[in-house]
Amino acid sequence: MTEPHDYERYRHGIGSTHNFKKEIEDTLRPAMERQTRADMHDEPSHEAVDKEITYRWGQEASAMRWLSDSELKVVFKNGWKPSEYLASRDG
């Protein structure tokens, strides 16, 4: 059986780095959009919902810019939102 680090090397290639920012974007954004639409289900304006989605995603994208690759890995592996991790780290 291979060790976890061997699997990561096999999966991503020797010397390659995993893009946890992309992983977070690919998993968090759809979930955030669903949650926003659920939170605003009484809102008749699609434009207002879309603006709220843009705002919420902007918060997460901004937080990701402040995190290192190792912090992004921790955020992704634990299923946290980057903004919540950043607030707890700095707070």
Task: Give me the pLDDT at residue 91, please.
Answer: 74
Domain extent for 78: 15-90
Q: Would residue 10 count as lying in a domain?
A: no
Q: Would residue 6 count as lying in a domain?
A: no
For the segment 53-75, the average pLDDT, to the nearest whole number, is 95
Q: Would residue 49 count as lying in a domain?
A: yes
Confidence of residue 1 (pLDDT cuts 50, 70, 90): very low
Q: Would residue 8 count as lying in a domain?
A: no
Domain count, the chain: 1
Q: Give the predicted TM-score (pTM) of the model.
A: 0.75
**What whole-number distance in Å separates Cα of residue 82 and Cα of residue 68?**
11
Q: What angle do CA 70, 71, 74 make, to 5 degrees?
A: 90
Classified as helix, coil or strand, 50 is: helix
Which of the two residues, 18 and 50, has the higher pLDDT score?
A: 50
Q: Would residue 81 count as lying in a domain?
A: yes
